[in-house]
Structure 1
Amino acid sequence: MDELKTLIKELEHEPPHSLARQRIRLAEEVAGAPRDRRWKRLLPFGRHTRPLLSGRRLAMGAVVAAVVAAGVAVPSLIGSAEPAYALTKNQDGSINLKIYDFRDPEHLEKELADWGVPADITYLPLGKRCGNTRAPFLKGDDFSATKEELSSSDAAAQARLRERLQKSISYQAIRPQDGITIYPRHIKPGQIAMIEVMENPVTPTVERPGVAWQFSGRLTTGPIEPCKVVADPSANDIGDATPPPGS
């Protein structure tokens, strides 16, 4: 746990207002950039065959998001002039989460609980991940794939893999849409939304594209063990695919 706290501190190498300015500048750069930026496919993490939901975003993907037409946004300041995150409740009952400053996950967990979503949130720097399973998987979340399927660059194979993933119970509840979108109607009593978010401490730019952040999420009934942090060598692989439909 001490190691995890140390790693989270690495995300605070710049004051929040500086990070906010970087994101605004990056958004302006992206707005005028060519539209052929490289995106990472929507796939389970790297070599994993467990039913993890992964949303990898490049520099552009991290700042370009659909505008929510109706909802109630609740930014959390946590003692800063800049919001750490914003929760938005949509008309269909879903909850959209946008994270601006990767700190104080316990505060986010509390607000999600107030909105009826039991959650376990973990922040890590990009290049690290939880190497342990941490919690039991739900029945119906079985998502098996061969190593060949996971590493295939064939568009049809990737589409089939995505379709299977999107039918899982966890995907119905936690989706990589407009940041992270949670659907409480798919979370049954006793289930917990376990979400791990990894941010690149160095902001990518148009000239130096890269993965800005990524996340994995799934449902579990617990208990949830502490994250055993390990290196993730594939974290900065931005791939060369186009965005999946609906991203």
Structure 2
Amino acid sequence: MNDGEREELARLLPPRDEPRLPPDRQRHLKEFVMTEIRQEVKPKRRLLLLRPAVLVPVLAAAAAVAIGAPRVLGGNEAAYAVSKQKDGTILITLGDMKNPKRLQGDLREMGLNAVVDFLPDGKQCAEPRVQNRLPTSSKLSVRPKVDRDRGVFAIDPRVVKSGQTVVLEFALGGFGSGGTAGMSSVITDGPVKACKLVDGPGS
């Protein structure tokens, strides 16, 4: 049988039916295709940006929380903490002998014009540091709140008047292992010399 005869025979045969899936298979296939289409056109999440009018109150609330908390500096153990009490006194808790100038800056922000030095064990500042020593230094420390064994001191900033400076020298002997902490204070209305370390009594 040649090609022409095959073509003639093919024309005489009834046309083939197109292959069709059973109805339940067609339904499953349609659901699968529609699911894939929905996932492709799913809207992406948009980043919510706060308007300036909303952002400002949020930042103000965060700042208010920060101002109300005691300031704590240092690594794993705080170098110090300083906070203002309801009665106006300032509570200082020392953790180690670091950052005296940062403590000095925090006290000045609280309205206390102070010069702060931390003294190593067995050392003191060479005297005299001030020319005019005012007689109100003994009233600066609030005795009932002082806990020398824990390095806690309460001072009354109202004792230091406008135009005056308080010199605070902290000496920690064995602090953290049952030792005691000491604070000496001098109030002056004149200049204050930088602390020059010298041997203390008995060194």
Please indicate the TM-score interval, normalised by the length of the shorter structure: 0.5 to 0.7
Q: 2:141 aligns with which of 156, 174, 181?
A: 174
Q: CA RMSD in A?
A: 2.3
CA contact under 8 A between 1:116 and 1:184: conserved in structure 2?
A: yes
> CA–CA distance in 2 between the matches of 1:230 and 1:95?
29
Query: Alpha carbons of 1:171 and 1:202: their partners in 2 closer, same or farther (altered >3 Å)?
Result: closer
Q: Deviation of residue 229 (structure 1)?
A: 1.6
Q: Deviation of residue 201 (structure 1)?
A: 5.5
> CA–CA distance in 2 between the matches of 1:76 and 1:203?
17
Aligned twin of 2:100: 105
Q: Which amino acid aligns with 2:96?
A: D
Q: How does 1:111-130 map to 2 (within 5 A)?
A: 111-130=106-125
Aligned twin of 2:58: none
Q: Structure 2: state its 5+ residue gaps.
A: 1-67
TM-score by length of 1: 0.47
CA contact under 8 A between 1:88 and 1:97: conserved in structure 2?
A: yes
Q: Deviation of residue 204 (structure 1)?
A: 4.2
Look at both structures and tell me which one has the larger radius of gyration over its CA atoms: 2
Q: Which amino acid aligns with 1:89?
A: K
Q: Does 1:183 align with 2:156?
A: yes
Matched residues, number: 130
Q: How does 1:146-225 map to 2 (within 5 A)?
A: 169-175=136-142, 177-178=146-147, 179-200=152-173, 204-205=177-178, 211-225=179-193
Match of 1:135, SS state, is: coil
Q: Deviation of residue 175 (structure 1)?
A: 4.2
> CA–CA distance in 2 between the matches of 1:224 and 1:192?
8
> CA–CA distance in 2 between the matches of 1:224 and 1:187?
15
> CA–CA distance in 1 between the matches of 2:89 and 2:177?
30
Aligned twin of 2:71: 75
Aligned twin of 2:197: 229
> CA–CA distance in 2 between the matches of 1:183 and 1:103?
23
CA contact under 8 A between 2:73 and 2:81: conserved in structure 1?
A: no
Identity of aligned residues (%): 30
